[in-house]
A and B are shown apart, each in its own frame.
Chain A
Amino acid sequence: MSRQNVEFAVGAAERLNETLNAFLEIDREGAMQRAVEVEKGDGSGLANEGVLRGVPVAIKDNLCVRGMQASCGSRILGDYHPPYNATVIERLINAGAVIIGKTNCDEFAMGSSNENSAFGPVKNPWDTTRVPGGSSGGSAAAVAAGIVPVALGSDTGGSVRQPASLVGVLGMKPTYGRNSRYGLVAFASSLDQVGIFARDVSVMANTLGVIAGRDRHDATTADVPVPDYSAALDGDLKGARIGFPRALFGKGLDEEVGNAVKSVVDVYRELGAEIVEVDLPHAGYAIAVYYIIATAEASSNLARFDGVRYGFRAEDAPELRQMYRKTREEGFGPEVKRRIMLGTYVLSAGYYDAYYRKAQQVRTLIKNDFLSAFKVCDAIITPTAPTPAFVLGEKVDDPLAMYLNDIYTVTANLAGIPGLSVPCALSSERLPIGFQLLGPYWSEATLFQLAHAYQQARPFTERPPVYASQP
C-alpha cells in the first residue's frame, strides 16, 4: 500500500507542478526507497505505533530535511542542503511518514500571498489566476489539490491558517511550545510555530500527536503531556461554549465571508453548543503590534545570512563589510529587505521604547483579552481571512494592504494560543471560505473535536478544478 500511495503522490506532484508551482523539490527516488522500507515487516519498529506508516507528506522549504534543499523561498539560501533533520521531521520519519518533497513559500515565510517567493508564486488550485495565500502556500496547495493528505508549514502570523482558508483545507497553528522549532529556519522566534495542513481532522490529529512534545533542542517547547488527539474527536457538543466576538464581524470583512461564518455559528448552536458573546477590545491593534515585534525579531534572526557559512555570496566585493552588504542586497527579495529595515528601525537607538516596548505592552493586553474571554467560553470563532483568495498581483505594491490579510490570525501568535482554520463554504465565485477556532493554551484536542463535529454535520466535499487524479 505504501508504495502505491507514495507513487501516486510523487506522480501527482510532478504532473501538477507546472500548473501550481507548489513544489521546489520533489524527491522521487528517496521517497520510493523509503516507501519500500516502511512497507517491509509489520511496522513494529516505528514510533507512535507507525500511525503515519507509508503516508506521503510535503514539507515547507523552511524546515530542514537531511538530503533535501532548504531554500526558504530565498535566493540567499538557494540550494542549501542542511546536514540535519528538524525535530518534527525526525518524528514524522520515525512514525513511518514518507517525505516526498519541499514546498514553495514566501521568502523566509514573509507574506500572505506566496508572491514573495524567489522561485515564482504558487497558484491556487481553485483558480490559477489567484493566490493560494501565504506564506505556506505550496503546502496548502499540495493538500488542496489532493497530492498529499498532510503537509507541514510554519505559522508566524497566520501562514498556515490563512492559506488553508484560501484553498479550502484544514490548517492548524498549535500552542506556542507545543511543537519544536529546532530545524525550522527562524523568522520571529517568539511567534513561530510549526503547523499542519490536512483535509481530514483525524489525519491532522494523528500528525500532531506524532510531532508534538518537549524537545531538548528547543528550550521553548513545554513539558506538557501530548494527549491522544484522535481519541478526542467524537463526543457531542452539549455544554460546549463558543465565544462570538461580534465586533470582529464588522468593517473590512467581506460580506460573503461574514455570512458564511455566521452560518457556522448557527450550526454549532444546532449541535448543542452554547454561543456566548465575547469582547476582545485590543484585537484591532494586533496588526500594529505584530509588525513591530515580528520585524524586530526578523531583523535580528536574519543577520546570520552574511555569505560566510552557507548559501549565496556576492562576487566582486574585495572587502568584508562590502561583501556582507552586497550579498544581502542581492540575496534578499524586496519584502524581506523591507521587514529587516522596519525591524532595524524600531529597534534602533532612541526608538526602542516608543515602538518595541510599547508593542510588547499591548501584546500583554491582547493576551489578557483572551485569558478573560476563555473564562466564559471553550473556544472563539472568527473568520480566518477577511476575503476569499485575491488575484495574483493585486496587492504586491501595497505592503500595508497585504498585512491586513492577517488581521484575524496574528492575535493567536501574539497570545501563544492555538488556532484552527476549517473550510465551510464556497463564495459565489467558487472560492473557499474558512472559519477559525481559537482556544486556550493546550486546547488542540477541543479544537479538533469542534472541527470534527462541524465536518460531520456539514461535510465540505467540494474539490478544486486542479485536483490530482490517477494518471
Chain B
Amino acid sequence: MPITEADIAKVAQLAHLELAEEELKTFGAQIAEIVAYVEQLNELDTTNVEPAIGGLTPEGERTETSRNDEIEGSLGQKVALAEAPDPSHGHFRVPKVL
C-alpha cells in the first residue's frame, strides 16, 4: 500500500513530532522504502506460529520476579527535580494545557 504525505503527517502527529516540510518529504520516501523492504515477511506462511513475546529465555520466564509490597527509599523531591528544565515550588512546571 503506498504511503502518502498525509499518512506521514498523521504518524508525525501521533509521535509528537513537529516535522518540517522538508523532513516530511524525505522521511516519507525513506519510510516507504523501508516498509517495502519489510513486506518481504509476507512471503512466509505464519498461520500457526505463535508470536514471540519479548526476548526472555525459558530460564528468564521461570524467574520469580515478584517482591513484597514494602515501601523503600526513593530519590526524594529535591533530587527528582534537580534535572527538570523548569521546576517550580516543588513541581514540574509546564506551559498551559488548555
Contacts and interface: CB of A to CB of B under 8 A. Distances in A.
A317 B37 contact: no
B96 A365 contact: no
Nearest to B16: A324
B77 interface: no
Contact of A176 (B14, B42, B55): B55
B90 to A, nearest CB: 14
A288 B41 contact: yes
B34 A291 contact: yes
Interface string A296-322: 000100010011111111000111111
A168 B4 CA distance: 44
B12 A320 contact: no
Interface stretch (A29-37, A255-263, A355-363): A355-363
Interface string A315-345: 0011111111110110010100110111011
Nearest to B10: A348
A212 to B, nearest CB: 13
Interface string B30-43: 11011101111110
Contacts of A249: none
Contact of B52 (A307, A322, A363): A363
Given A307-B85, A361-B51, A326 B31 contact: no
* Most interface-central of B44, B50, B53 (chain A CB within 10 A): B44
Nearest to A313: B85
Interface string B18-59: 111001000100110111011111101010011111111111
A222 B38 contact: no
Nearest to A175: B57
B15 A344 contact: yes
A285 B84 contact: no
A308 B86 CA distance: 8
A413 interface: yes
Contact of B38 (A317, A355, A361): A355
Which 9 A-B pairs have CB atoms at the shortest separation, nearest pair first?
Answer: A360-B51, A325-B18, A313-B85, A361-B46, A222-B60, A310-B83, A363-B52, A177-B60, A219-B65
17 contacts: A80-B83, A175-B57, A176-B57, A177-B56, A216-B67, A223-B63, A285-B41, A291-B34, A310-B84, A310-B85, A317-B95, A338-B31, A342-B31, A362-B41, A363-B51, A367-B52, A442-B59
